[in-house]
Each structure stands twice: as C-alpha cells, then as structure tokens.
Structure 1
C-alpha cells in the first residue's frame, strides 16, 4: 500500500494526453531554389512590362530612368537585407505582421494585417490576373477591344485554377512557381539578347536613345521622385518569402541566400531589359505605348511577335500564383494569433496545405473583379499605407535590437542600413501626402477601417454568447467541407 501511494504521488499534476499527438503543421518543403523562384516569381510580374513607361514619363530622360531602375534595386535590396535579420530572428510565417506583433503588440499588427490581407494582396492578385487575360486575348482581338466581360472571365478562371493548385499541394504550387519563373526570366533574356544583337550591328538608329542621355531630365524634384513609385512597383515582392519562412528548409541559411540571389538577379535583368528596350523604342515612343514589350516584339519579331503576349501571360501566372501562395499564409499567421477566424489556421492532413486560407484568398480576389474598373485607383490609394507599414516593420527591427538584445541573430545588419531604409520609406510616405493629399486621405481611411473591426471582434472580450456559437458552427462546417484539422491533433489509443 505504501508503494502504491508513493507511485501516485510521483505522477505529474498535469499528465500528457492519453494517446499520441500528431503534429499537422505546415511542411518544410521549400528548398533554396524554391525560395529564389518565389521571390523572383513575385517580383517579375506585369510590372517590368508596364513600369518602363511610368519611369520614363516622370524621369524625363533615359539617363535618369536607368539610374532610377538601379536605385530601386539597391533600395529593395537594403530592405530585403533588413528583413533577413527579422526573418531569421522571428521565424514565424506572416512577415512584417509577425515582426510588428512581436515589437509593438496586437493593435498595430492587426491594422497591418487588415490592409495587407483584405485589400493589398487580393487587389494585386486581381490586377495580375486581369493583365494575364488582356494579353491572352490580344492575339484574338488585335485591332479592337475584346467583348465586355471577357477579360474578367479569363481572370476569374486563372484565379480559380491557381487557388485549386494551392489547395491540392504545396509542391504543385511551387512547381508552377518554378516553371513560370523560368519562363518569364527567359522572356526577359530574349529581350536582352535581342537588344545586344541590335547594338552589335553598330547601326546608329539603335544608339539614338543614348545620345544626350540626360536630355529632358525633369527639373521638378517632386515629379522626378514619382518615377521611383513606378520602379518600386516593379520590384514589389522582395519581402514575400518572409511570409512563408516556416515552410523554408534551413531558414538561417536559405532565407538570406534566397534574398541576395533574387534581388541581385532582378536588378541586373531589369536594367539590361530597359537598355535593350531603348535600343529599339525611343523615349517618345515609350510614352505612347504602355505595353512596351509588345511594341518591341512588333518592331523586331515580325510574324513571331505573338510570342511576347504569351511570355507576358506566363509572367503574370507566376506572379498571381506567388501572391496566392504567400497571402494564404498571411491569413494563416493572423488566425493563429487570434486576429482572423480560427478556421483559417486549419490544415488538411493529407495535403498539408491551409485550404480555408487559400480559398479565402482566392474568394477575395474574385470579389475585387467586380471593382476591376476602379481597382487601379484603389491600389494607388493604398501605396502610402504600404510604405508606411514597411517603415513600421523597420522600426520593429530597431526596437527589437533593444528589447531582444541577447537573442540569437544569425544575420545582424549594420544599423546604417535600416536607418537609411526607414528614411527612404518616410520619403515615400511624405511625398504623396504633399503631392496627392486626396488620394492619401482615402488610403489612410481604408487603413483605419480596420480599427473598429479590431475593437469589435478582437479587443471586446465580453461578446454575446451567440456570436461565439455562430463562429463555432461556421468552423465545424468548414472543417467538414475542406477536411481540415488544427495543427496538433490528439489520437486516442485503442
């Protein structure tokens, strides 16, 4: 009896659950090559095929345009370098949402999550899908606009297809990313090589754009600075790998390597692509043709010019896939912190994918198709909010240097880089406030719509029970439809 009593006393107060606990977390399936292809695939989208016109218009000269492209690449590289420290210090999916949460708490983190996940990402996916549809339809309607609604139907088909792929398998999604990343890089290499061949012929007409290279440079600093917005739009996506860092193999090594390889590659490709475009297209012609790559192909490839819209379509498929892949993980990270419905944290045990989060991302993108006539204006409204959020994430890096001074940092950047990048972000926020106060006010208003949502659904702890009951019913229904379970599932021993 004494031995039995001692045995009972020796048992832990909180014994582990009976049975085995199966972790159904996101699988670490992304290699270094996958990481590079995700960043390159997200950066190189429709931007490089339309941004040269915007940069040339605001810069005013070929020389300043090329400087802007180089400066935007360097600026993005500095930001990505700072994010590499954050990503290896806080190895959670969610990117700057996770970093702001760690540094400044849930309120600012939720506002960042709200504007990024509800507006910016779905709108971006919709724009990219519409670009795909327009270029795919162009060969069939070379001299007129396609029928009303046709681009929206094509865009919807692409969003639904990519949503399904991302639900079925992470490996399928990364395979799509890898294939179309290679295709879009080959398209740009084709432009670069063609331009190099034209210059090697030595014919004067291919060097006309480079004579008096700074002639026409904008004298208005405010106008010239707006050229950076078009350039930086083409570089957007440099921080997307941080949103899925939990699925990256050996993030201490592969995250910084992926960033370094990707940003360097994109900067070189972008600058050389612009040089190639200027060999055939004069600055005046570039201002008249927003689809500069198609104009380039029409001038040089003759009957094979149809290949360029196909290449652009491939480029947009990779970009849309990258947005869906990383955006769904942002919902997943937010739901895990209690800032989104808990069903968005759940994973299909067979596919190891967060199906509810992926479907919700695709659904929002489809909803924005209804606003496709005004969506470009919407993106312009929130540019100031985007750079404001990036600036806050950089402040988080500086703050965590103080509050987590002794934490393990595989990458520790010199403070000169985050300070310089933060000053750049402040510049990108202040300039539109002065130049376009109405659009800026609308953008800030969109951001502030998340404030009542936070206090009503998150901060308010004594909500009526019927709200929780309704949430539980929706969660159970979604679990049955998508066959998803929480990250950890306990199985009883039989």
Structure 2
C-alpha cells in the first residue's frame, strides 16, 4: 500500500478539491494524462440516484419488512418513514459533498474529518461486506426471478441459483473490463426493464383498487397484527427497508464530475428521493391488493407471485422484467464499487494495483476483478436475508458516523465555506433514528450485528500494518512490488497520469496527510509542520 501511494503521487499532485485522476474516462488525453470532466448534469445526477436505489430491494425486501413489522399498515409506514429519513440523510450528505468536494463519498468525508484510521475502516467494511454482499444479494435475486417460472410448484434448487448468480457476475465483470461505454449502454438498456416492471406493478395495483380489491388496505385490517409487536423486530423492518433505499449516497462518489455541484447536488436529491419513495410505497400497496400477508410471506419471489395472480397467461412478463432490473443493478454496483476501490487505492489505503487502469480501454480491471472475486466468495452464505441485515447494520453505522462528522465539522471549523448549509436539526434527527436502529437491532440480532462489528474491527491491525507502518522490511516491499508488476503484465494496466506531477518529493507529506484528521487540535498545524516533525 505504501508503494501504491508513492506511485500515485508521482503522477498525481492533488489540489484541495480532490484528485484529477480519480476516474477512468474512455480515452486518455493527448498528452497521455487522464483527467476528470464535469459531464454529469441534473438529469444524469437524478439517473445516478434513482438507478442505484432501485435495484433488487423493492422485489426482495417487501417480504422482510412485512415479516418484521407484523402488520400491513405498519409495513407501509416503515416504507414511508424510511424514505423520509433517507431524504434527511441525503440533505446532510449534500452539505458534506460541497464542503469537502472530493469524490469517494462518505469514505472521503470520514477520512478527512476523523483521520486515516476511521476512513480506512469505512473503506475496509465496504471492501469486505457492503459491496460484495449487495452484489451477491442482487445476483441471487436475478437468478431467483429467472429460475422461478421453471419451478412453478417448488423453489428453485439452491445450487442452481448460486451458479446462475456467479455466471451473471462473471459476464458483467467482463463487460465492465472491456469498455466503459459498453457498461453504460448495458445500464441504460436494463434500466428500461426496471422502470417497466415497477410501472406495471403500480398500474395493476391501481386497477385492483378501482375494482374494490383493497381489503388489507382498510384501517381495521391493515393494522391487524399477525404476530406480537416487538420493538426490536420493528427496527429490523427499518433495516430491511433501508436496504431497498441503498444507493441514495452514490452521487457523492462522483462530486468532482458534477456540473455546478452546489446547485445540482441538492436539486437531484429533491427530485430523486421523493420519486423513489412514491414508487416504493405504491408498489407495496399494489402487492397488498393482490396478495394476503400470508401469501406474500410464503413467496420467495414476490413480484412473480404478483404477476401470476393478476396477469394470467402474460405472467411471464414480470419475472423477465424483474430479472432485467436486477441484472442492471449488478452492473451498476460493479461499476460503482470499482470507482470506490480505485479511489481508496489512490489514497494508499488499498493495494496500489487497484489504482491501475487498462492502457487502451481505460477500465479499472484489477479493481473489477477484485470486487467480482469477493462477491463470488460471499455467495457461499446461505441466507440472503442475513446478508441484508449485515449490509443494513454496517451501513447505518457509518452513515451515522458520517453525519456525526458533519456536526463535528460545524463545531471545529465553523468558518469554512459551505455553499449548502442545512439546519442542524436534520443531522440530529438522522442520528436519533440511526441510534434507534442500531440499539434495537443489536438487541434483537446480537450475533448478526456482532459479526458485522467484528469484521469491521479486523481492519484496525490491517491499517497499522499496511498503511500506518511506512518503514516495512525491504523483502516485503520487494514481494509486493513483484506482485504488482505481475498483475500489471497480466492485466495490461498502468497508473493513470496527469500533467503537473513528477518526482517523489510529495510522498511522505501526502502519506502523513492521510493519517491526520481535518479537525486538528492546533489550527496552525499544517502539512509542512507535520513533514518537519518526521525523522
């Protein structure tokens, strides 16, 4: 990792707003350098948020939300409240995104506010749990919706589900490695299937209501509990719902590429989050018009069961549409995770080979292969709902830490420019909700939450050995350099270059900056004084 930082800074002298080589455009500039361009306008920004939120969650999580909520009415309330809380969290991230205008999202914010260790733990848990788990769940959902029509009287075989999910991951990894343009076109095509599936579900729900089929939506029936209310289970219902809203913060990963981020970042949030909340709530209402709670809980593919009850001979449309949606979701997640891992490697927090791109295709092949391998390993986990709980708990943990960092930054640095400045009541509301989820989730599922925390804490020794400890044995450095060289030759990749950076004079200074928080105890202590204190 140390060498990765050295190679990175040889070619990349960062300005205060972040690196100019953090992404991988489809072609290099004439001088051999790679630079980010501000090409994401308002429409594209909304597409990033909506496209990343609407994945497999709305087709998988309705079962988990209803099961833990205990009644139809409370389940609908969970979907509405989760959407509102998501909007509050997105507003907090909007302020952070323009105050710390770096790509990398909450990883960059946590690193700059709390220091290198905290940022590394965020990246570490994303590498080990969040992205592999998310991609595994979406891939398993894809395979379930493809195979379910072939097994109308029983569940598809587990081995078949996992094999098809693995094939899906390998195929899309190849597409993303081959061309950024190909990956973008795949995303556009399969987003159409995603929107078609949800529009069809909502329209059929409206038709059902017009026909008087709304028994479970009547107040006396909607709040008829089929199990004893439990505050811990309600917290788990919110975690299941939060999985469906996952991806609302992905626009912050590409802040440096936004056209006029001070305007378009909050505008995209104001448009996208209410739109997704509307779609999610009415999709769940549509499910209830066609299925009883017992039927919904018994279904392993909610949207397929919905289509079978309402579409008759055209029921095949639903599994195909949902499969298209989840296939595109895997593609988008692979693309996003490669950007995050690339950014982490650029900061010296991941092996330097992950910061390399193909010499002609300009795709981050090592980062894509790494995330594909980690997702394939995650497929051995037997219960996808346990995977969702892992993702939800750890995500809320770091969402809360990031929003807490917003309050810390207000206190420590009250005078720094803030083009967007929200009322402090918003982060406080979000933190209270976050605390409620974590406390009661830990109470209800101590083993699941404990495993998530244990995985996160494994990053502490890795950080001190891999990042903080700079004077490693020469034999270790030579071995890592050999592995990096072999990987370069196998993948035909190089470090991206930009004009204006040469030599190694900034290496120690920038590595020291990684380990220091933005909020220093002594305001006058800057990078120069830190560098002078080095032996």
Matched, 1:425 2:469: no
What's the RMSD between the two structures over aligned residues?
A: 2.3
Q: Does 1:461 align with 2:470?
A: yes
Picking from 40, 57, 70, the partner of 2:80 is 70
Deviations 1:389-414 (Å, cap 9, x if unpaired)?
Answer: 11111111112223443333222111
SS of structure 2 residue aligned to 1:242: helix
State whether residues 243 and 391 of structure 2, in contact with CA within 8 Å, keep that contact through their aligned partners in structure 1. no
Structure 1 match to 2:308: 298
Q: CA 1:420 to 1:474, structure 2 compared with 1: closer, same or farther past 3 Å? A: same
Partner of 2:48: 38
1:353 is matched with: 363
Other-structure match for 2:166: 156
Q: Partners of 1:375 and 1:61 in 2: how far apart?
A: 22
Match of 1:323 in 2: 333
Query: Is 1:273 aligned with 2:283?
Result: yes
1:422-477 CA distance string (max 9 Å, x none): 11111111112222223222221111111111111112222111111122222222
Matched, 1:178 2:188: yes
- Superposed CA offset, 1:261-285 (max 9, x none): 2211110001111122222212232
How big is the shift at 1:300?
Answer: 1.0
3-state SS of 2:316 partner: helix
Distance 1:376 1:190 in 2: 26
Of the candidates 410, 421, 438, which is equivalent to residue 419 of structure 2? Answer: 410
Distance in 2 separating the partners of 1:32 and 1:482: 35
1:485 and 2:499 are equivalent in the alignment: no
Superposed CA offset, 1:18-56 (max 9, x none): xx9643134544443333223222211221112222222
Number of aligned residues: 469
Whole-Å separation in 1 of the counterparts to 2:239 and 2:158: 31
> Kindly tell me: are residues 487 and 383 of structure 1, through their superposed partners in 2, closer, same or farther at Cα, counting changes over 3 Å?
same
Mapped contact 2:357–2:364 kept (Cα < 8 A)? yes
* Residues 61-210 of structure 1 aligned to structure 2 (within 5 Å): 61-146=71-156, 149-201=159-211, 203=212, 205-210=213-218
Give a deviation string over 1:343-389, Cα, whole Å, max 9, x none: 212233543332221221122212223x1425643543454332111
Contact 2:235 2:441 in 1 (8 A): no
Deviation at 1:172, TM superposition (A): 2.9
Distance 2:314 2:64 in 1: 27
Distance 1:376 1:55 in 2: 11
Query: Per the alignment, in what secondary structure is the counterpart of residue 212 of structure 1?
Result: helix
Structure exhibiting the larger radius of gyration computed from Cα positions: 1
Q: Judge conservation of contact 1:111–1:447 (CA < 8 Å) in 2.
A: yes
Matching of residue 389 in structure 1 with residue 395 in structure 2: no
* Distance in structure 2 (CA, Å) of the matches to 1:110 and 1:280: 46
CA contact (8 A) 1:132 1:317 kept: yes
The aligned counterpart of 2:254 is: 244
* SS of residue matched to 2:220: coil
Alignment partners' CA distance in 2, 1:382 and 1:190: 29
Supply the distance in 1 between the matched residues of 2:216 and 2:433 (Cα, whole angstroms): 34
CA distance in 2: counterparts of 1:99 and 1:105, whole angstroms: 9
TM-score, normalised to structure 1's length?
0.88
Distance in 2 (CA, whole Å) between partners of 1:160 and 1:427 is 39
Shift of 1:419: 1.1
2:202–2:286 CA contact under 8 A, matched in 1: yes
In 1, the alpha carbon distance for the partners of 2:152 and 2:296 equals 19
Aligned mates of 1:189, 1:385 — CA distance in 2: 31
C-alpha distance in 1, partners of 2:398/2:117? 13
Mark the CA change 1:450 to 1:354 in structure 2 (over 3 Å): closer, same or farther.
Answer: same
User: For structure 1, which runs of at least 5 residues remain unmatched after alignment?
Assistant: 1-19
The separation in 1 between residues aligned to 2:184 and 2:414, in whole angstroms, is: 36
Q: Residues 259 and 172 from structure 1, CA distance in 2 versus in 1: closer, same or farther, beyond 3 angstroms?
A: farther
- Counterpart CA distance in 2 for 1:124 and 1:68 is 21
